[in-house]
Amino acid sequence: RSIGQILRPDREDPSDARLLWLGARASGEVDSGALGDLFYGLDGAWVGGDETVFGFDSCADSDTPCPASKRDQTHERLSSRRHHDVGGFAIDARMTLESPLRWRPAFTLGYAFGSGDSNARRGEDTAFRQTGLHRNNDRFLGVDRFHYYGELVRPELSNLHVVTASVGYRILHSSSLELLYHYYQQAVPAPFVRDTKLKADPNGRSGAIGHEWDMALGLEEWEHLEVELIGALFLAGSAFGRTRDHPDDFSGNLAQGVFLKLKWNF
């Protein structure tokens, strides 16, 4: 693509990349005696390659040099093109203790980290990014699968620390209840969170994204029907506070959501 090319927004691609991912996984189970059974998992990944990032200006802006016939909001002009190398890494560690206590609660602690771009001016983007095929969806020891980085935030593991704590219970005959907490902190303060469900953008000055609490209830008491009910609450951190360049103040705001999924198996 050449600078000055006029495109419709649905024809734009903000970046082109040639990337290679390498990963490794270790998992297992340890008998902790009277404490119960300990399950652990550790994932590590590296991404490398090169990327070209494109910038666009709206033709509706009077300062953008576009043909008169395309001077509207349905056209944009390619204004910049930047090439850099990519090299980032990520880890995801989790351990779950299935205790012998009443109702056999399972306690989970997890930590995930995706590197951020701390040296963008040196011609290399060190931020990790996932493949685009990821779902970040799994279950701990219950019957229900959920987004283990949070149901509301649902971030891509890029430029981010995610700390997770949960307690889960097996209930009835074949059901479970999971209570989860997540804390989010950017590795490098940036004015965006990659591929998140949040509509607001952070201010780029603070890295404290916020906290999320989830409740995941999975019911599989019937031969054909599975029910999944999830409630989620997110508290925005100082990364969404007001600054000179970020006039909107969402710090301390709450977002909530309820998700219901029914599955019928034939």
Which pLDDT band, with edges at 50, 70 and 90, does 79 fall under? confident
pLDDT at 1: 65
Domain count within the chain: 1
Q: What are the residues facing 185 on neighbouring strands? A: 161, 208
Which percentage of the chain shows pLDDT scores above 70? 98
Lowest mean pLDDT among 30-34, 93-97, 146-150, 187-191: 30-34
What's the CA gap between 70 and 143, in Å, rounded? 54
What's the CA gap between 128 and 208, in Å, rounded? 19
Q: Would you say residue 70 lies in a domain?
A: no
As given in the structure block, the two tokens for residue 52 are 């070209």
User: What end-to-end distance do the CA atoms of the chain give, in Å?
Assistant: 50
Q: Would you say residue 150 lies in a domain?
A: yes
What's the CA gap between 116 and 127, in Å, rounded? 4
Q: Would you say residue 65 lies in a domain?
A: no
Contact 130, 204 (CB under 8 A): no
pLDDT at 120: 59
Residue range of the domain that includes 260: 20-49+87-264
Q: Would you say residue 247 lies in a domain?
A: yes
CATH number at residue 205: 2.40.160.100
Q: Would you say residue 168 lies in a domain?
A: yes
The strand pair at 6-7 and 15-31 is best described as unpaired
Q: What is the mean pLDDT of the chain?
A: 91
Q: Would you say residue 61 lies in a domain?
A: no
Q: Would you say residue 72 lies in a domain?
A: no
pLDDT at 17: 87
Which pLDDT band, with edges at 50, 70 and 90, does 2 fall under? confident
Write the pLDDT tens digit of every residue in 89-117: 999 999 999 999 888 899 999 999 999 99
Q: Would you say residue 182 lies in a domain?
A: yes
Residue by residue, DSSP assigns 189-227 as: --S--TT-S--SPP-SS--EEEEEEEEEEEE--SSSEEE
